[in-house]
Chain A
């Protein structure tokens, strides 16, 4: 898994490439959790190159959503592939999260 964080003028984009599973999820947590403290942030996870996500990744995504919105920010998921989207639909996360 590779994570790139791009701070743009209106939003912060986290580009995730590869797999987020039990092995790589701690690394994702480590990289994105510092962003949770930024009040009013618009945080985007760009999942165009995210090939696979399991519950380990979903937990981090859900925590990110909770922390960011608690501090008045916005959390958005963008460019999900059909397979990754199916995991969000399966778990009902697609109803809670903003997916573009």
Chain B
């Protein structure tokens, strides 16, 4: 596509079947403790 570049992102529709394991880190434990975007999926680590 000449005028549009699509950046590779996780397919949220696919994640219905491949996600939901619950093994990822609880977001509030990671750094800020006061204020999920910054989390990684455990399977991608």
**Does A associate with B in a complex?**
no
Interface residues of B (CB under 8 A from A): none
- Residues on A close to B: CB < 8 A? none
